[in-house]
Structure 1
């Protein structure tokens, strides 16, 4: 597999992190049949892929429309991702994603079998939040040809499939790992995310101050 795709997959994995959404998924689908839960997971995972696809194709255009340079966005995005990583390593979760305890399930799910909440709040912003969207835009704005954009799209597709598999196995994963296991995974992903954030930040500084770096 191309190393660029692996690198992007790693960044998406630690930012999207479907393990952090397992508890919310189980709460939102309480009382659902197995078929409805799979449909719920499928819609949520598809939303993740569509979000990645949209910002891969339109991210650079949005920056140009807003008059924001890629270097400035990289620095801002790198700082945002670094803050997320620090919180994850401290066991405080992702600060730019909603607190699951504050999600109003009664408003999110209209009735048993409803899949409206698969899009909001599960896919957006629970799995794909500001950090994930910023990273997609940063990677897409850096590429120079369609082969590289295709690599980002492939990475998004693979992460979406992983999200689907994780959600459909949510009950088993939560039972096996427990709160302690999920917390350990979050901290490990925070360490990996910190490395990604520094790379984004340095790349942005190099773009803005090429004579210094």
Structure 2
């Protein structure tokens, strides 16, 4: 029961920070007029690149923190604050930390491989998703929970690829209002998860609750 609850929490956190719907919407705009075969190739490349980085952060992130002499409680507080900022932008329907600005969108429209930028970075493997991968792996207390983090990353990446594959139909189905509702609900859930990460970090750090 505890493992199932942990896996569900991990899945929701990664799903919100990776943002399949948000990614699909931006992907549809960037690849408008591109042949379907080329779009599928770009989507697959972006997923593979982002997946490699996310898995690398999940598996090696805590070791890097140790080399930098950064405690896990400190990173939990910092990561929780970062996720909370992303939650605020989602809730108030402004571009999140994993979105792209207008200048970045202009750069993406120039000749080049958009699978790396901006699709893989910062849309899929953005600061929020990378922080979440490290935080979730650091929270794992059993082998099952530790194995569940990479597994949930792969599941979320699969959902993201499916959303990108069906981006045009998804846009027609949701519309602007539907996408806005999904964004706001995701922001509220992510805010609660972010605050919990901060509480966990404070509880394990030097300023433990009485």
Q: Fold-level match, TM-score > 0.5?
A: yes
Equivalent position SS for 1:2:
helix
> 2: distance between equivalents of 1:198 and 1:167?
30
Q: What corresponds to 1:6 in structure 2?
A: 8
> 2: distance between equivalents of 1:97 and 1:184?
17
> 2: distance between equivalents of 1:177 and 1:144?
38
Return closer, same or farther for 1:67/1:51 CA change in 2, 3 Å cut-off: same
Q: What corresponds to 1:123 in structure 2?
A: 120
Correspondences of 1:175-186 after superposition (within 5 Å): 175-186=172-183
Aligned length: 207
Q: What corresponds to 1:207 in structure 2?
A: 204
In 2, are the aligned partners of 1:93 and 1:186 still within 8 Å (CA)?
A: no
Comparing 195-204 and 33-42, the one that deviates more: 33-42
Equivalent position SS for 2:87:
helix
Comparing 98-107 and 162-171, the one that deviates more: 98-107
Q: Aligned match of 1:55 in 50, 54, 57?
A: 57
Give the TM-score taking structure 2 as reference length.
0.90
Long gaps (5+) in structure 2: none
Return closer, same or farther for 1:17/1:207 CA change in 2, 3 Å cut-off: same
Correspondences of 1:96-175 after superposition (within 5 Å): 97-100=99-102, 102-103=104-105, 104-107=107-110, 109-110=111-112, 116-175=113-172
What is the Cα-based RMSD across aligned positions, in Å? Answer: 1.9
Please give the per-residue CA displacement for 1:33-71, whole angstroms capped at 9, x wherever unaligned.
Answer: 222212211122222321221111110111011110001
Long gaps (5+) in structure 1: 111-115
Give the TM-score taking structure 1 as reference length.
0.89
TM superposition shift of 1:102: 4.1
